[in-house]
Every structure is written in structure tokens, then in C-alpha cells.
Amino acid sequence: MSAKVLVVDDMPLNVKMLADVLTFKGYQVVTAAGGKEGLAKVESEKPDLVLLDVMMPDLDGYAVCRAIRAKAETAILPVVMITALDPAEERVKGLEAGADDFLSKPINQPELLARVRSLLRIKEFHDQVQSQARELADWNRTLEQRVAAGVRQIEQMGRLKRFLSPQIADLIVSGTQSEGAADPLKSHRREITVVFLDLRGFTAFTETADPEEVMGVLQEYHHEMGRLIMAHNGTIEHFAGDGIMIFFNDPVVIENPAAQAVRMAVSMQEEFGGLSQIWKKRGYDLHMGIGIAQGYATLGTIGFEGRRDYGAIGSVTNLAARLCSDAKAGQILVSQKVFGCIEELVTAEAVGELSIKGFHKPVPAFNVAGLK
């Protein structure tokens, strides 16, 4: 769009001459017949440049120019003053009033157009700078908002990870989609490796120990086991007193979940040995058994609107829990399917076929003594 020029002059012939010259060169022209009308047009028309006659009956050009400069929104609006009086004297007055340039009557048309073009180029550059400044200010504001939103998200993540498995918290906060499911928290089927662990002698311990002692033991136990679960990318299904259920391969897919689960279990038994020695000095006789099974399960959110958990349902969870129950102190009992996946990785021995509640046939089980 072409630039808009406001011509302010009380002489109609001067106005017409200036308007015709400028219109012919492609400028938009608006006119005012006096100083007061000129100020009103500056407000309403928002011109890019003002051609301002000095001598006008209602309000002279100097007063108009000073009024234009007094307002922040028009402080840099280009103003060219035009007069038939002594150029040297009037130029000084005009510059003191805030004029950008000065033309003497009669108007030299080439000079007029050259000065108009020059001042409009300066204004265009200034407008670009102002626009960039506004964009930068907007960007800074949005940056502050994005940083604040990021901080809130980190705080939310921190709070969620205190109550949920980190993988589930990540999905809730970020909305990341897991492989093969539009919504990773919706019900879906997947083969997983399930690990159960609980303490031997815990019931007898709770019958004789103070509640504070019991809570202290659980905190130490959960802290050490939780650290190893995180280190091996396990998903915590739940804590239930001394019992913990973990599974692998959901929601984060793992190439060999059985191997990862067994590595974690071996590390847990090794770490638990140190805890057991500390507890023995306090008079607590506690040990740990672990059961591991692999198979398909249905996974997803379980609960109601006010309280939801992420869980796994299927016979594989029952089998892991039963193997854990049958495991003696320090043992890691794994199912036949798990053993088939880790045979080359571990030192293990068959413990025979176990009659497990809920399973019609005896279940072959193996005790993992350690990693090769």
C-alpha cells in the first residue's frame, strides 16, 4: 500500500497543487484546511508524513508541529514545513518546533518529491525497527510463559514420579504415544516379564516390632529396591507393604525383558545382603524371595474417575506371585519361559515342578544363582 501524506494549508490552491503532484506520483493524499483540522486528521487518518503550512489563521504550523511532537504515538512522524517567509529565520523556528525539513514557496516540485521520498524511507526504516522491537518484546513475553510452563511441567513431573512409575508419569505429562497404541494408557495386550519380591519373616517381625521400626525397615527396603528398579528401567506396578510388583516391556518396549528382569533381580539379592546384615545387628531376621514369569497380559489404567492406577492383568502376574511365594530366602525362582530366554546368561538349577495354586498342571521352575 502506498504511503499516506497529509497536506495542511488554509489556501485551497496550494492544497490542490500539492495534492495533484503527490497523487500523480502514487501517494495517498488527505487534506486539512487549518491547524486544528490538521491535528484532528493526524489522529484519525494516521498519515505517514505531514506537509504543514506555517501561516494559518486558527493555529500556526509551529503550534501544530509542537502538538504532534508532544504525543508519543506521533513523536517521530515526519513533518515538512512550508512557508513564503524568510527561509533562514523560519527554518530555525521550524526546527525548534520539531520539524524534520523545510520547503520555501513557491514549491519546487522535484525538490518536494525528493524530500518526501527521503523522509518516508527514514520512517519506513523506523517502523521496521519498531515492529522488530514489538516482535522481540512479544517473543520475550512468550519465552517467559514457555519457561514458566516448563518449570510447572517439571514440578508436576516431580510430584507424579513420587506416586507413579516414572515411565507412566512421563506418558501422562508429555502425552507421548507408545508403540502400537494411540493412547498408551488405554487397555492393550503385550507380552511382559513380571517380577514379584517380598520379605521372608516380615509377618513375625511386624508382630513384635514397633510401628516406627516397621516403617523404617520398609523405607530402607523400598529405597534400595526402588533405586535398582529405576536403574533397570522397570515399571513399578505397586507397592504392598513388603511386596513389590514390577514388569518389563511396557509402557517402554525392551528388546529382551526377561534378561533385564533377571539382571535386576540378581542385583537386588546382592544389595539385599547388605541390608540384611544391618538389620540382623538390630535384631531383625529378614530375607527376600523373588519370582519371575513371562507371558501376555492386558495392561492399562484401572480404577475410577477420582483414583486410577496403571496395572497388568493376566495369568503371568499370578504365576510370578506364586513363584515368589515358593521362593526360599535368597532365591530367585523363574518360570520355564523366562529360563529359556536367559539360559546363556545365568547360572541356574532346576528345582522341579511346583504345584501352584490356580494352575492345573505342575509348573517347572528354576533357581537363578547368579550371572555368568
Span 178-229, pLDDT tens digits: 444 456 567 889 999 999 999 999 999 999 999 999 999 999 999 999 999 9
pLDDT higher than threshold 90 for residue 298: yes
- In this predicted structure, the answer to whether residue 252 has a pLDDT above a threshold of 60 is yes
Question: Taking the chain, what is the end-to-end CA distance rounded to the nearest angstrom?
Answer: 79
For residues 261 and 246, what is the distance between their CA atoms, to the nearest angstrom? Answer: 9
What is the model's pLDDT at position 170? 65
DSSP state string for 29-56: EEEESSHHHHHHHHHHH--SEEEEES--
Asked if pLDDT for residue 146 goes beyond 80, the answer is no
Indicate whether 297 pLDDT > 50: yes
267 close to 294: Cβ distance less than 8 angstroms: no
| 103 closest CA partner among 120, 126, 80 | 80
Q: Is there a contact between 100 and 78 (Cβ–Cβ < 8 Å)? A: yes
**Distance between CA atoms of residues 189 and 127, nearest Å:** 61
- Give the residue with greater pLDDT, 290 vs 144: 290
- Domains of the chain by start residue, with CATH: 4-131 (3.40.50.2300), 183-371 (3.30.70.1230)
